[in-house]
């Protein structure tokens, strides 16, 4: 196991044992604009490559939350965006389309 992977395992064990300095994430509160009502949510399956999956899990652990909440918040940020994030996303998608 790499140092980074073993560090992640140690941190996950610490959170599970309740000895982490940051509180373990509980049930995610409703996120404005992101279908906070669990009954109204729709499932969306997303396939990630291993690098992106690892990054998302590590980011969620560092933030003391879960991956669903991060992705829902990113979508809310895109919905509420004044053009900066949407423009960067459009540029990235266009660049990727040119390489495929």
At 45, the pLDDT band (50, 70, 90 cuts) reads very high
Which pLDDT value is given to residue 18? 64
pTM as predicted: 0.58
Torsion angle in degrees (nearest 10) through CA of 70, 68, 61, 7: -120
Average pLDDT over residues 53-68: 96
SS (HEC) of 58-80: HHHHHHCCCHHHHHHHHHHHHHC
Residue 74 tokens, joined: 């990113």
Q: Is the pLDDT of residue 81 over 80?
A: yes
């Amino acid at each position: 196991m790499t140092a980074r992977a073993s560090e992640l395992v140690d941190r996950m064990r610490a959170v599970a044992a309740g000895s982490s300095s940051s509180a373990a994430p509980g049930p995610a509160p409703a996120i404005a604009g992101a279908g906070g009502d669990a009954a109204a949510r729709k499932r969306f399956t997303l396939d990630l490559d291993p690098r992106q999956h690892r990054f998302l899990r590590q980011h969620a652990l560092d933030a003391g939350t879960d991956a669903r909440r991060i992705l829902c918040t990113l979508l809310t940020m895109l919905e509420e965006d004044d053009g900066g994030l949407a423009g960067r996303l459009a540029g990235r998608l266009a660049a990727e389309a040119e390489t495929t």
